[in-house]
């Protein structure tokens, strides 16, 4: 079978009647007194008609730059799959992709298997920078550090000046969520999250939850702490179990919106009213929080903006060794899933 020959830059130069150097300037939009705007436009039009596609591999070898940014997102512990089902990652990737594309870069999204050395992948692909979302073992980060490739950590709590970092004050966010419920009159407040690992966002949000209870003169109770996977289905099943077994809480702080969504729908399907029986506040303000019935009260972080900032930090890191640490703001958004403490539970109504 005949294979169509790839059009080279030399082919374009010959067809346009100019030198290879002039063609390179034109195709790379390099401003030069050596070529006029009309010549540059002519070259680009010839290249378009001929179907010329830049050889990125060759360009990488010459420039030692791949124009690629690696993005690592967490994998679920049970399935070892990247957690695309959590809308949080779709929103943050949207922000990362837009900024990298507008800066002439592309992203390579990856997870990491239990025995996979991502540092080898980063070097083989000649990644210009890496954005890591979430918390990873110290050895994993040590291996990445050794490559010398700029690394931006997102939502990690790592005390290491070798990395750039973008995150929110998750402990403050946990405090704000719990304080919101306390101000509504709730005093028996449960905490729901994935397994609390040190250090990490869930651990910080849990500490904020405890801080708020103590500030209001309340003692945190282990019996009001629930763990399940960051999953809509698992959270729905947890809600059904809570209703079946009984719980003295009148409100729930759920450390991620996707879990709050499952918990609320699990309560409703079990005949429990939200917020009349249980108030529920989430964390993130992902887009589904305002599409749910009821709409979910939550601690808002601008997820897409976080991705945009992480990408911009990665762009800056390619050009400068100066480390950046950026902490983005949080606010409480009250919607229909939280309300004043009701007497329904005490009266059995």
| pLDDT tens for each residue of 67-119 | 899 998 876 555 556 566 778 999 999 999 999 999 889 998 887 655 566 67
pLDDT of 272 reads 96
pLDDT of 3 reads 46
pLDDT of 115 reads 54
Q: Which residues of the chain are modeled with pLDDT < 70?
A: 1-5, 30-33, 54-65, 75-84, 112-118, 120-121, 123-125, 197-198, 343-349
Asked if 208 contacts 172 with a C-beta cutoff of 8 angstroms, the reply is: yes
pLDDT of 349 reads 41
H-helix or E-strand spanning residue 337: none
- 3, 10, 124: which is closest to 57 by C-alpha? 124
Q: Phi/psi of residue 128, each to 5°?
A: -85, -25
- Domains, the chain, in order of start with CATH, read 9-54 (1.10.260), 68-167+303-327 (3.40.50.2300), 170-302+333-347 (3.40.50.2300)
Helix or strand or coil: residue 325? Answer: strand
pLDDT of 263 reads 98
| pLDDT tens for each residue of 36-70 | 888 989 999 999 898 887 665 455 444 556 789 99
Asked if 286 contacts 268 with a C-beta cutoff of 8 angstroms, the reply is: no
pLDDT of 1 reads 37
For a pLDDT cut of 90, what percent of the chain falls above it? 60
| Length of the chain, in residues | 349
Asked if 96 contacts 309 with a C-beta cutoff of 8 angstroms, the reply is: no
pLDDT of 82 reads 58
């Amino acid at each position: 079978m005949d294979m169509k020959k790839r059009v080279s830059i030399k082919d374009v130069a010959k067809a346009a009647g100019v030198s290879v150097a002039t063609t390179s300037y034109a195709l790379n939009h390099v401003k030069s007194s050596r070529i006029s705007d009309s010549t540059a436009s002519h070259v680009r039009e010839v290249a378009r008609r001929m179907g010329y596609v830049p050889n990125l591999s060759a360009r990488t070898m010459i420039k030692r730059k791949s124009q690629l940014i690696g993005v690592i997102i967490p994998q679920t512990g049970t399935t070892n799959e990247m957690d695309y089902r959590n809308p949080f990652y779709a929103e943050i990737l949207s922000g990362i992709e837009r900024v990298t594309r507008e800066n002439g870069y592309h992203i390579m999204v990856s997870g990491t298997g239990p025995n996979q050395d991502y540092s080898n992948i980063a070097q083989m692909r000649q990644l210009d920078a890496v954005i890591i979302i979430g918390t990873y073992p110290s050895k994993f980060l040590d291996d990445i550090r050794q490559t010398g490739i700029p690394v931006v950590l997102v939502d990690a709590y790592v005390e290491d000046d070798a990395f750039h970092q973008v995150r929110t004050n998750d402990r403050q966010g946990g405090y704000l969520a719990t304080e919101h419920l306390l101000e509504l009159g709730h005093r028996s407040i449960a905490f729901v999250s994935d397994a609390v690992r040190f250090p990490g966002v869930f651990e910080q949000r849990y500490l904020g939850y405890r801080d708020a209870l103590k500030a209001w003169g309340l003692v945190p109770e282990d019996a009001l702490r629930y763990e399940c996977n960051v999953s809509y289905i698992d959270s729905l099943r947890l809600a059904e179990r809570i209703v079946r077994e009984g719980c003295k809480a009148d409100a729930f702080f759920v450390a991620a919106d996707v879990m709050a969504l499952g918990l609320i729908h699990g309560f409703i399907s079990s005949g429990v009213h939200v917020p009349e029986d249980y108030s529920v506040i989430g964390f993130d303000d992902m887009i589904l929080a305002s599409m749910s019935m009821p709409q979910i009260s939550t601690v808002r972080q601008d997820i897409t903006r976080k991705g945009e900032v992480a990408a911009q930090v990665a762009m800056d890191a390619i050009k400068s060794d100066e480390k950046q640490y950026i902490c983005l703001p949080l606010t409480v958004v009250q919607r229909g899933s939280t309300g004043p403490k009701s007497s329904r539970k005490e009266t059995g109504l």
